[in-house]
Amino acid sequence: MTFEELKPIVSNIILKENATRDEKLKEICQLLSENVSYYDWVGYYFANHEAKTLHLGPYVGAETDHTVIPFGKGICGQVAVSNSNFVVPDVKAQDNYIACSFTVKSEIVVPLFLNGINIGQIDIDSHVIDPFTAADERFLEFVNEEVSKLF
């Protein structure tokens, strides 16, 4: 499916009445993982601004030990500080990368904002080198705009 075809499905998941926020987030992760061939791990991290940590939320993919990430550490932690998208074409070229699995070759992280505050992020790992484009960034920004309606 194209990103344009996925957008209304994401919007419909957000509008479901008989599902919890976590169930909706998991369903979005599943949708993206199943329909974008190079999205191999899709998940959400949410910020605890007092502790300056990110906490793993719903995700789809291999299990991860990274359930709590300090602000500034790794790609996700850097996005918590910068409030900007971070595309990593090749994780081996990153100094401040937290290795999840040897199969991960690239990563994209897009912050999730609520009323201008970075409350979390969507994190996607790929087993392919350099698959992410500006179209991925725009699509994931759309996804997070929809997800922000759950908060």
| Confidence at residue 104, expressed as pLDDT on a 0 to 100 scale | 85
Looking at residue 93, what is its pLDDT?
74
What are the φ and ψ backbone dihedral angles of 88, each rounded to 5 degrees?
Answer: -115, 100
Percent helix, strand, coil in the chain (nearest 5)? 40, 25, 35
Whether this prediction's pTM lies above 0.75 is answered by yes
pLDDT value at residue 13: 98
- For 4, 53, 76, 78, the CA distances from 81, given in Å and listed in that order, are 30, 10, 9, 5
Residues 49 and 31: their CA atoms lie apart, in Å, by 29
Residue 141 sits at φ, ψ, to 5 deg, of -65, -40
pLDDT at position 98:
62
pLDDT in tens for each of the 151 residues of the chain?
A: 999 999 999 999 999 999 999 999 999 999 999 999 999 999 999 999 999 999 999 999 999 888 999 999 989 999 999 999 999 998 777 665 565 667 889 999 999 999 999 999 999 999 999 999 999 999 999 999 999 999 9
